[in-house]
Chains A and B, each alone.
Chain A
Amino acid sequence: MLRSYIPILILLALSLGMALVIIVFSQLVSPLRPTPVKESPYESGILPLGTAHERFSVKFYMVAILFIVFDLETVFLIPWAVSMRELGWGGFFAASIFLVVLTVGLIYEWKRGGLRWE
């Protein structure tokens, strides 16, 4: 039923409202005395060298790509899981083809060192 989503909207309004009230109120109440030292990024007392927006390790991109593949796998498995007992063995074999393909992908990724962090 569509009406059951209304409470979620109410809650979303409540939580966003509370966050905004906190941010705005805190901005009004708290003192603001910026100094150049306070405004510089914290690097354990050492003068920051260059910007933080540097290139970062390619491994994080690998994780992101793998995540998309396997999260989609989860999403595709949910409809099958919900109706698995009605579908029976036929559905299971259909789903296992899908599972095998992705597992082969995972093993390949593993053997090629895509999951290695050092």
Chain B
Amino acid sequence: MEQLHDIGALTDTAFFWTSLVKAVIAFLVVVVAVAMMTLAERRVSAFIQDRLGPNRVGPFGLLQPIADGLKNFLKEETLPGQASRLYFVLAPVLSMAPAFILFAVIPFAAPLPTPWGLVEMIVAPVPIGILFVLAFSSLGVYGIFLAGWSSNNKYSLLGGLRGSAQMVSYEVALGMSLIPIFMIVGNVTIPEMVWAQQRSVDAAVAGVAPETLGIWFAFPLGLAFFLFVVSSFAETNRLPFDLPEAEAELVAGYHAEYSSMRFALFMMGEYAHLLTASALMATLFFGGWDIPFWRGDNMVVVAPGIVAGAEPAVWKTILTFFSFAIKTLFFAFVFIWVRWTLPRFRYDQIMDLGWKVMLPTALAYIVLMAVSILALDSLAVPYGLGYGLILTAINLIATFVFLYLVDSDRVIMGGSAKRPVPPVVPEAVVVDREELIGAGSALTPRDRGEE
């Protein structure tokens, strides 16, 4: 079972056509998934708030996104008189288009053997891997800032400024939380990261395929996962960090002046970003398409058309795709769950968290993981499950220390501050009638007892 399987490489023509098919199908799947996410958001929020949510259009309300889209098309597109026309129209495009190509580098299933050769189940198997995601996800800042600036509206400008400052602040921590993964995997391509998380394989493939850690990175890199999740929430402007659109203070923030389909483009971009972030959490920290406790899917493409590890098969591709979909949808659900559970931060708390907690923690964590990995290598600990478990123990301690320090309230003053807690049931207030009359400017003559 554990050996090399030569399925055959695709010719350039076959590669082009399979890529075209994969790109179009993946694009359509993401468009439909984005539409369904808008419905899921409303249904889950309804469930959390003990309501029903939209359930009238189609079975279970499944056609609601289509109805919403149709409505958006027929609504008037307002254009503020003093807006910069070009940027105003360009901003939603810039916000949506990058979000829809991020998933290109995420593998969504095990490689598929076909009569023409081996087809990797990833839209673009680029060697730069995760760097592509980092590069393109930061382009979203342009859309938000241009939207805020071009609207010529004070709310929009503030929302755009806040959004861009927040996104660049957390991008640093996001990038740094990935560095320990690069240390362990020794590569930046995402298929190899998936392979490194799969169960250790026999010595038969040890020489030809990269070594594997055999444990999902959420365990040996637990604190990195925590930093990544928090930064992802901030990057996607989702609720504990949705300051750019904070409706209570900025109306709708950077898209206050947008209506109709241009507004819908922002929403599509946001949900596409959310799906990509969920897929990244699943892929980088929860094994991607790996099915746990099963060795039949442990395979990696070592050269064009050549697979090391288990033998690829069509049914394995389908099974692993479901594994990937379940993990991704779970994290998408977590995004919605958090949005309808947690309150919003204050802006100074967000910036403090980004620069004074996330960044120093990420820096310290990089040093800690580098020292741990190099020490384990120096002690000649065999790379594999035991190695991963030692790192897991180190991470548990690091996470505990981190949470303890953050919770001690020295860096961020906020709702968790250890102030004296007022009694839950206030004591009965005895109102001194004379005092009330003395202070009572707002009292009517009748309240003062003067008929």
- Grouping DSSP codes into helix (H, G, I), strand (E, B) and loop, the A interface class, with mixed when no group exceeds half, is helix
Knowing A74-B179, A117-B352 are in contact, say whether A30-B359 is a contact too (CB < 8 A): no
Q: Is the CB of B172 within 8 A of A67?
A: yes
- Give chain B residues whose Cβ lies under 8 Å from the Cβ of A41: 80, 82, 151-154, 257
Distance of A27 Cα from B261 Cα, bound (Å): 9
Q: Is the CB of B31 within 8 A of A11?
A: no
Closest chain B CB from A31 CB (angstroms)? 5
Q: 8 Å CB contacts to B: which residues of A1-32? A: 1, 3-8, 10-12, 14-16, 18-20, 22-23, 25-27, 29-32
Question: Of A6, A59, A63, A84, which is within 8 A of B183 by CB?
Answer: A84
Distance of A73 Cα from B176 Cα, bound (Å): 9
Question: Of A43, A84, A99, A106, which is within 8 A of B155 by CB?
Answer: A43
Q: Is the CB of A19 within 8 A of B366?
A: no
Stretch at the interface among B88-96, B213-221, B282-290, B305-313: B88-96
Q: Which residue on chain B has the smallest CB distance to residue A72?
A: B172
- Give chain B residues whose Cβ lies under 8 Å from the Cβ of A40: 80-81
Closest chain B CB from A34 CB (angstroms)? 7
Knowing A19-B97, A33-B76, A52-B151 are in contact, say whether A7-B19 is a contact too (CB < 8 A): yes
Closest chain A CB from B420 CB (angstroms)? 24
Closest chain B CB from A8 CB (angstroms)? 5
Q: 8 Å CB contacts to A: which residues of B71-86? A: 72-82
Knowing A77-B176, A117-B348 are in contact, say whether A52-B183 is a contact too (CB < 8 A): no
A82 near B: Cβ within 8 Å?
A: yes
Residues of A within 8 A of B (CB): 1, 3-8, 10-12, 14-16, 18-20, 22-23, 25-27, 29-34, 36, 38-44, 48, 51-54, 56, 59-60, 63-64, 66-67, 70-71, 73-75, 77-78, 81-86, 88-89, 92, 95-96, 99, 102-103, 106, 110, 115, 117-118
Going nearest first, the 3 A-B pairs with the smallest beta carbon separation are A26-B261, A39-B81, A15-B100
Residues of B within 8 A of A (CB): 12, 15-16, 19-20, 22-24, 26-27, 31, 72-82, 89, 92-93, 96-97, 100-101, 104, 123-127, 131-132, 149, 151-157, 161, 164-165, 168-169, 171-172, 175-176, 179-180, 182-183, 186-188, 251, 256-257, 260-262, 264-265, 304, 347-348, 351-352, 355-356, 359-360, 363, 366-367, 370-371, 373-374, 377-378
